Structure 1
């Protein structure tokens, strides 16, 4: 049985950290799948039903179905971009962790459909002149671009390290 942590924050953090000796990679993957799935669900819902809701009628210069929050332009953009980055990151994690699983094609199809639904909902609830497609697309691409960059960086580092080892350095 694991040793009970002392009554300070540092030991609590250590106690709940992933430990290769205690947990299997499969258990870690399952936890990550649950966490990424929850983040995807929450961010999807927030995009489809933005904070503050949507206008219910076309009175006082407002349009029915448009996000009330979108009239606070800067704050709405921060929300929209942050929410999109969170959704995109969770999708990247889900796709990465289910790579080579049975029904992977169906997982990717469902995920792509969810992304299209999210994008169409954002464009439906946001005033036409407010959303710039390029900002939302860039926000969605950020996690994938960072992951590709890190992968290339690690491969280059490994080649340099292997080259040093091969040369006897």
Structure 2
């Protein structure tokens, strides 16, 4: 039996110098240039941002078209989410994940357009779009819905990214030691 297994292993095609490995094919630097990768990521992030924005203002199940005329629970109002009335837990989970995805996509867009022409205007537009997302989702949420969930979910990707950046800087400081301050007067004397 052991001999049969060795025969099978030996029969498997072995990569040759002419045939690149899977790792080499996935990491082919000539196949994807930096600008192509950036453009591709920008398109994907923009699509995610657009899709999550649309899902935020038009939640699954839609919105109620008219007020509930009966006084029996669960009471609903026109323009408010059907999902929130039927399942508050699912609604909260949906909005948290949707807002986090929206905010993450905007964060990626912000990083990809950094130092490009009009990047400050793009960041301003994304900031405003995040605000309109939060306000729009609050408008379709029931009156008793905790809007802090949406605002927290919008902030989560930024908090995580900031934490990663601080961690990288601390790791660099541990590896390289503190940066010496210029001269006896500090920064003011060096200016």
**TM-score category by the smaller chain?**
0.7 to 0.9
Q: What displacement does 1:19 show? A: 3.7
Alpha-carbon distance in structure 2 between the residues aligned to 1:30 and 1:124: 34
Residue of 99, 116, 125 corresponding to 2:114 = 99
Q: Per-residue displacement from partner, 1:56-82 (whole Å, max 9, x unpaired)?
A: 011343211001011110000000000
* Greater Rg over alpha carbons, structure: 2
TM-score of the superposed pair, with normalisation by structure 1: 0.82
Residue of 46, 58, 69 corresponding to 1:49 = 58
Name the CA shift for 1:5/1:34 in 2 (closer, same or farther; >3 Å): farther
Structure 1 spans left out of the alignment, 5+ residues: 164-169
Q: What displacement does 1:135 show? A: 1.9
How many residue pairs match? The answer is: 155
Name the CA shift for 1:78/1:5 in 2 (closer, same or farther; >3 Å): farther
1:111 maps to 126
Q: Does 1:35 align with 2:49?
A: no
Alpha-carbon distance in structure 2 between the residues aligned to 1:105 and 1:154: 25
Kept in 1: contact 2:84–2:142 (CA 8 A): yes
Q: What displacement does 1:153 show? A: 1.0
Following superposition of structure 1 onto structure 2, how do residues 146-161 of structure 1 map, counting pairs within 5 Å? 146-161=160-175
Q: What displacement does 1:21 show? A: 4.3
* Larger RCO (alpha carbons 8 Å, 6+ apart): 1
Kept in 1: contact 2:81–2:141 (CA 8 A): yes
TM-score of the superposed pair, with normalisation by structure 2: 0.73
Kept in 1: contact 2:134–2:151 (CA 8 A): no
Name the Cα RMSD after superposition: 2.4
Name the CA shift for 1:28/1:18 in 2 (closer, same or farther; >3 Å): farther
When you count helix as a share of all residues, which structure comes out higher?
A: 1
Alpha-carbon distance in structure 2 between the residues aligned to 1:15 and 1:67: 49
Alpha-carbon distance in structure 2 between the residues aligned to 1:84 and 1:37: 14
Structure 2 spans left out of the alignment, 5+ residues: 1-17, 178-191
